[in-house]
Amino acid sequence: MIIAIASGKGGTGKTTVAVSLAISIGKNVQLVDCDVEEPNTHIFIKPKINKKENVSIKIPQVDLEKCNFCGKCSSVCAFNAIAVTPWSVSIFSELCHSCGACIYFCPQNAISEIDKPIGTIEIGERNELNFIQGKLNVGQAMPTPIIKAVKKYIDCSKCAIIDAPPGTSCAMVHSVINSNYCILVTEPTPFGLNDLKLAVAVLIKLKIPFGVIINRCGLGNNEVEKYCQGRDIKVLMKIPFSREIAESYSFGKPLIESLPEYKEAFQKLFRMLESNYG
Amino acid sequence: MKICITSSGDNLESQIDQRFGRCQYFIIFDDTNDTFEAIANPNVDAGSGAGIQSAQLVVAKKPSMLITGEVGPKAEKVLQAANLKIITGENGSIKEAIEKFCSPMVRE
């Protein structure tokens, strides 16, 4: 079973929930950090990393001996990553999506593919928890190839908990896609609600069942709850706005380890998801 | 000599468009016969790479000088590869730019 933890708004508590849920399951569980621009579950899990792997994308390289500067590669590039002038070809690899159209259409066969490293995957463990995270290299702009590479390590015989990046862009979509269930973590503030609505729209489009955890309850207003009631969205859990929880987080301690009363709540949540969506 | 000026409109009374890649029009002025061509920029709403495509379009028109407000780093790379002289930080009308940068014979 794959459970993705997403949010819309950043900083609502995705990692807190993902880490606590994964630890509460205990055995046969993988914690998959797909927030490759700044993976942070490792701070709480402190895994022993056993394996590292580089992730590269394919980018075009032009052989100027063969090129006749016809401009076909530039005109077929959907991402405007190639500029051809009468005597130069400029490739902007940061815009390239590795689709291969330029290579396919080049009438001179002047374009080949080369590897461009963009990040790494790290695989490790803590106790019986499998840990996988992707890291995008600093300065790179394309997280999705790393997210796809990370997700290849998901073992279907286990339960995978995916910590998704914030937002509702490609990175979030690729992180949550093919999940059996998605938990949206939000906070009861106007920003939390606004971005929750965006995330809900994405999940409806992707046909992924979802529920909401309201974190920092007591802060802000009750508009998030009203919205969930009105749309018939299940509120799975409420985590209060408390200094104790914030302190535990700031020390890098998983919520369910510093406040063990949450362990049962997360276990109960997992049993419910497993029996209904597993 | 042909010069290219990024413009907010399609005539010489228009103001210089401060953006290069997403400017509204490119005005290509030819001072050998005092004529100009206004090209509506097809890259105004490009998702990405507007500057790159605009640079390619401008280079294909073979001007010897580009006058604009700001040029981004990607567009600049393409323009420099074509040895195009880039003048940034200009404002005012297209007509004023032509008077400032073209040969005195066009000034009247």
A226 has a pLDDT exceeding 60? yes
Which of A67, A76, A88 to mutate to test binding with chain B, by most B CBs within 10 Å of its CB? A88
| Average pLDDT score over residue span A266-278 | 95
Asked whether the beta carbons of residue B56 and residue A74 sit closer than 8 angstroms, the reply is yes
Flag whether pLDDT at A54 surpasses 50.
yes
Cβ-Cβ contacts under 8 Å, B81 against chain A: 85, 88, 90
Distance, in angstroms, between A208 CA and closest chain B CA?
28
- Report the run of H or E that residue A269 belongs to, with start and end: helix A261-277
The burial class, CB within 10 Å (0-12 / 13-18 / 19+), for B44 is middle
pLDDT at A278: 82
- Measure the CA–CA gap between A114 and A112, rounded to whole angstroms: 7
Please judge whether A92 and B49 are an interchain contact, meaning their C-beta atoms are less than 8 angstroms apart: yes
What residues contact residue A223 under an 8 Å CB cut-off, 6+ apart?
A188, A190, A193
SS3 per-residue string spanning chain B: CEEEEEECCCCCCCEECCECCCCCEEEEEECCCCEEEEEECCCCCCCCCHHHHHHHHHHHCCCCEEECCECCHHHHHHHHHCCCEEECCCCCEHHHHHHHHCCHHHCC
Query: Can you give the pLDDT of all 108 residues of chain B as single tens digits?
Result: 899 999 999 999 999 999 999 999 999 999 888 999 999 999 999 988 999 999 999 999 999 999 999 999 999 999 999 999 999 999 999 999 999 988 655 444
pLDDT band at residue A44 using 50, 70 and 90 as cut-offs: very high
Share of chain A above pLDDT 90, in %: 95
* 3 state SS of A131: strand
Neighbours of A267 (CB within 10 A): 15
A76-120: pLDDT as tens digits: 999 999 999 988 899 999 999 999 999 999 999 999 999 999 999
Give the total residue count for chain B. 108
For A144-157, the pLDDT digits (tens) are 999 999 999 999 99
Q: Which domains occur in chain B, in start order?
A: 2-106 (3.30.420.130)
Kindly compute the dihedral angle of the four CA atoms of residues A85, A86, A87, A90, in this order, to the nearest 10 degrees.
20
pLDDT for B103 equals: 63
Inspect the interface and report whether the beta carbons of A85 and B56 lie closer than 8 Å.
Answer: yes
Q: What is the mean pLDDT of chain A?
A: 96
CB contact under 8 A, A86 and B55: no
**Strand partners of residue A276:** none
Predicted local distance difference test score (pLDDT) of residue B47: 86
- Choose from A90, A97, A99 for mutation: most chain B CBs within 10 A: A90
Rounded CA separation A129/A133 (Å): 13
**Global confidence as pTM:** 0.82
* Shortest Cα distance, chain B CAs vs residue A214, angstroms: 35
Mutate to test the interface with A, among B52, B54, B74, B83 (most CBs of A within 10 A): B52
**Domains with residue ranges and CATH for chain A:** 2-55+119-277 (3.40.50.300), 64-109 (3.30.70.20)
Indicate the SS3 state at residue A183: strand
To the nearest whole percent, how much of chain A has pLDDT over 70?
100
Report pLDDT for B104: 57
Which residues of A are less than 8 Å from B74 in CB distance? 92
Confidence of residue A141 (pLDDT cuts 50, 70, 90): confident
A90 vs B43, B60, B77: nearest CB = B77
Burial class (CB in 10 A: 0-12, 13-18, 19+), B102: middle
